[in-house]
Amino acid sequence: MLFSSIHLLNTVRIVLKKIHRERFLESRLVDVEKEFYFSQKIKTMIPAKAYAAYQPDQPLKPFEFNRRAVGPHDIQIEIKYCGVCHSDLHRARGEWKGTDYPLVPGHEIVGIVLSVGSHVSKFKKGDLAAVGVIVDSCRECANCRQEMENYCVEGPTGTYNVKERDGSGITRGGYSSQIVTDQRFVYHFSDKLDMKAVAPLLCAGITTYSPLKYAGVKKGMKVGVAGLGGLGHMGVKFAVAFGAEVTLISHTPSKEQDAKRLGAHHFLLSSDTDQMKKHESYFDIILNAISAQHDYKKYLDLLALNGKMLLVGLPPENPKVDPFALIKNRRTIMGSMIGGTTETQEMLDFCAEHNIVSDIELIPIQKIDEAYDRMVKGDVRYRFVIDMSTL
Ligand code: ZN
Ligand code: ZN
């Protein structure tokens, strides 16, 4: 009896030792694997050249950093051109709170695929590829499930100055030689379009396409586009392509010629009170792309029954809204922020079909600060694009 008990105990001890050892080995193996994985990851990180803002009041300067290794769902893109958006300037010059310096701006990115991860089916090496304002999202919330990742409840991951979702660092934008992005946030565009003029479609394009589409702009509708800049000029092009009767509303008389050239049917000078009075209750839709401080009432008064003012411009201070201007004609003010992944691809396909690109001025990267200064003065028709071969 005693002997058999001792024997049993010994057996248990041996088994326990074995389990323990296996567990130890297993955990050690996981550690080794992890170490190997991270060392490989670091080894395969991609060196990138860029231009960065180091301080709010200093010009942008050359900067070098590493892009993450190409993961299974990633696409590595050689950036050919990057559009210059007003947000770049606000961020670089610290006009919006929370800039993480050094900052590599740029979210209107076009280029060519250099390599793809093992699970990538959408792209292959040598394809044209574009990246816009967002590079990730939670992918699980109700909005992400509808591919409206721009409205992700956790907040979408911006292409620059935002923490990567895996905690690996801060996102860096398109003023750089390369980018590595998850395939969900990479888009195709037609080689029939002028590549450098495609770049601004990724922010200015989708920002105006999305609300006009959502508002159901079509033939027979009267659409006013207020403000002719990077956003406004794309708004005119899309509203015309959707078949609407389009009026550009601007306080600058010299923009009339440009408005017509862009396809607008009419021009309304906002400083001309008689003309403005004549257009009261006239428009079905007004795309408001004015980013300077202005009176919303002036534009709301122009809306007909059930008219909508689509806000895409961001004035520096909160504008006042006159409730009387809203209740008359059952008017709506609707905001809109960029677009989701499906919609962005749809917009790029629409542009290929209708031969729509942005009006641009190409600059070398060394002239970026001069471009920012000119943007502040409104001296650009209508988007600067950086030729990244000058980096
Ligand atoms: Zn932008
Ligand atoms: Zn989400």
Same domain, 329 and 371: no
CA of 201 to the centre of ligand 2 (A): 23
CA of 271 to the centre of ligand 1 (A): 28
386 neighbors 365 (Cβ within 8 angstroms): yes
Helix H or strand E encompassing 335? strand 332-335
248 neighbors 232 (Cβ within 8 angstroms): yes
Is residue 270 domain-resident?
yes
Same domain, 213 and 176: no
Residue 279 CA to residue 129 CA, distance in Å, equals 43
224 neighbors 194 (Cβ within 8 angstroms): no
Strands 266-269 and 283-288 come out as unpaired
Is residue 28 domain-resident?
no
Same domain, 225 and 297: yes
Same domain, 88 and 190: yes
308 neighbors 214 (Cβ within 8 angstroms): no
Same domain, 50 and 164: yes
CA of 345 to the centre of ligand 2 (A): 19
CA of 137 to the centre of ligand 2 (A): 5
How many structural domains comprise the chain?
2
Same domain, 96 and 198: yes
Same domain, 134 and 162: yes
CA of 88 to the centre of ligand 1 (A): 7
Which one of the ligands is nearest to 140 CA? 2
Is residue 212 domain-resident?
yes
Domain encompassing residue 317? 205-335
Reduced to 3 states (helix: H, G, I; strand: E, B; else coil), residue 102 is coil
Which one of the ligands is nearest to 149 CA? 2
CA of 142 to the centre of ligand 2 (A): 7
Q: Report every protein residue that has its C-beta within 5 angstroms of ion ligand 2.
A: 137-138, 141, 144, 152
Average confidence (pLDDT) per 10 residues, the chain, 391 residues: 58 60 56 56 84 97 96 97 96 93 98 97 96 98 98 97 90 98 98 98 98 97 96 98 98 94 97 97 97 93 98 89 96 98 98 98 98 94 97 96
Is residue 152 domain-resident?
yes
pLDDT of 44 reads 84
Q: Which residues lie closer than 8 Å to 78 by C-beta, 6 or more apart? A: 111, 112, 113, 114, 177, 178
CA of 132 to the centre of ligand 1 (A): 8
Which one of the ligands is nearest to 133 CA? 1
Same domain, 232 and 310: yes
Residue 62 sits in a domain whose CATH number is 3.90.180.10
CA of 22 to the centre of ligand 2 (A): 40
Is residue 13 domain-resident?
no
Residue 267 sits in a domain whose CATH number is 3.40.50.720
Same domain, 82 and 197: yes
CA of 155 to the centre of ligand 2 (A): 7
Same domain, 108 and 218: no
CA of 134 to the centre of ligand 2 (A): 12
